Amino acid sequence: MRFYCITLKSLLPALLMLSSLTGYAQQKDSFTLSGKITNADYDLIYLRYVAPSGTNVLDSTKIANGAFQFRGQIAEPTVAFLYGKMKSQSMDDPNFTSIFLEPAPMSIRVKAGDFKNAELKGSVSHDQQKALDKLKAPIRKEMEPVLEVYRKEKNHEKAAEIREQFEPFNARMDKIDFAFFAAHPDSYVTPYLMRFKIAGLNTAEAKKIYNSWTKRIQQSSYGKYIAEEIKKLESGSPGSKAAAFTAKDINGEQLSLSDFKGKKYVMIDFWASWCVPCRKGNPHLISVYNKYKEKGLEIIGVASDDNAVEAWKKAVEQDKIGIWKHVLSGYKRDASEAEKGTHISPRYGIHTLPTKILIDKNGIIIGRYGGGGEDDAAMDKKLEEIFGKS
């Protein structure tokens, strides 16, 4: 059983730009959310969602005599975040909750300090989500003692070990979610939740689920997102041509994947200094490199440490992995469209760390190990098939 570090970007919306959408007339793609709140010791309540244009919206409205109302536009059922005066930045904050908005009139009742138990009416998608959550509630209750220990653990490595204990619980909840996907191919909840599952699926598994959906779900914003992620996953899976990249290596020298074409097999190791499973796997990777480097294997470490360069260099030195090539992933938080094109990880469909991509001398991917692929035992077997036993 193995734990992988989730990476790259949250599948939930990031900070949303300030924008007010109050004042819309009720029309086809509009919604109205009329609410009642009790025990509030604050005057404003907030709603974050994505408008039909794709613009991230943060709206606020005043609470008057325990009542509030939002009006806005959405093209389809959309996950939104409703919150009051928060005590923390965590999604577990008692004054924060997520809801499924629908382009329709809706009503909600909420209690300050208990937003998670808000009662929303008028949203079919929200009803489906709540029913699914109810099925998983007993498992989450069993998991709570482990979560409590995890929350209190300050040591990064020990916390990673505790997270490995989540896997049996997550596997049981995954089973419930995948059963829901199969039974609800026309629900907007299905592609929304699929965003959190695709990291653990291979291309064939992801395609099978996607192909089972109705046209309207495939063409929804969440459905299009999944289709794009499947393309990225496929581009980083066996049989595909490896995406070319050029970057400055850890020594400031220019490194291109094409430098090795026709000369060596290349293992691209997607990792990070903060990823405990990555670091724990380095001794094995060192043994693999030492075993096959003279037979034609090169390793290129691609680190998701673009905002922690010194930590990256320190990890390379501490783990004694400077024996192979190292570059950063090229990620920039506020990247321009041109800069986004230099980000290596998305071109290989990387969602979790560690993930390793094996490329043959012709530049074709022949192995994927980690997120959406096989395990290290399969990697060892593949390398032995290529290079023989030493």
Domain limit, last residue, from 208, 235, 262: 235
**Residue 19: is its pLDDT beyond 80?**
no
**What's the whole-number mean pLDDT along residues 159-187?**
96
How high is the pLDDT of residue 144? 96
pLDDT at 339: 74
Residue 375 maps to which CATH number?
Answer: 3.40.30.10
Q: What is the largest CA-CA distance in the chain?
A: 78
**Interatomic CA distance for residues 47 and 79, integer angstroms:** 11
Q: What is the pLDDT of residue 390?
A: 62
Contact call for residues 61 and 135 (beta carbons, < 8 A): no
In a domain, 24, yes or no: no
Q: Are residues 263 and 357 in the same domain?
A: yes
Evaluate if residue 17 carries a pLDDT over 50.
no
168 lies in the same domain as 208: yes
Provide the pLDDT for residue 334: 79
Same domain, 383 and 278: yes
245: left (phi over 0), alpha (psi -120 to 50) or beta: beta
Bond prior to 354 in cis (omega within 30° of 0): yes
Q: What is the mean pLDDT of residues 311-316?
A: 98
Both 176 and 146 in one domain: the answer is yes
Same domain, 263 and 371: yes
Tens of pLDDT, residue by residue over 52-105, are 888 999 999 999 999 999 999 999 999 999 999 998 988 989 999 999 999 999
> What secondary structure letter does DSSP report for 294?
G
> Is residue 156's pLDDT more than 60?
yes
Q: Give the pLDDT band of residue 364 (cuts 50, 70, 90).
A: very high
Tell me the residue range of the domain where 140 lies.
127-235
* Token representation of residue 347: 């071109």
> Is residue 129 pLDDT above 60, yes or no?
yes
Which has the closest alpha carbon to 141: 189, 117, 173? 173
Q: Are residues 213 and 251 in the same domain?
A: no
Same domain for 334 and 307: yes
Q: Is the Cβ–Cβ distance between 305 and 273 less than 8 Å?
A: yes
Residues 6+ apart with CB under 8 A from 139: 169, 172, 173, 176
Between 21 and 251, name the one with better pLDDT: 251
Q: What are phi and psi of 368, to 5 degrees?
A: -135, 125
Q: Please check whether residues 382 and 256 belong to one and the same domain.
A: yes
Rounded mean pLDDT, 9-33: 47
**Confidence category of residue 24, pLDDT binned at 50, 70, 90:** very low
Query: DSSP state, 314?
Result: H
Kindly tell me if the per-residue pLDDT of 13 is higher than 60. Answer: no
d(CA 166, CA 153): 15
Residue 3: predicted pLDDT: 41
Domain boundary at 235, 256, 285, which? 235
CATH classification of the domain holding 36: 2.60.40.1120
Q: Indicate the DSSP class of residue 259.
A: G
Provide the strand spans (E) within the chain: 5-6, 30-38, 44-50, 56-62, 67-73, 78-83, 96-101, 105-111, 119-121, 246-248, 254-256, 265-271, 297-303, 325-328, 352-353, 355-359, 365-369
* 165 vs 258: CA distance, rounded Å: 41
Count of the separate structural domains present in the chain:
3
Examine the fold and report which residue of 122, 137, 154 is the final residue of a domain before the chain moves on. Answer: 122
Say whether both 231 and 311 belong to one domain. no
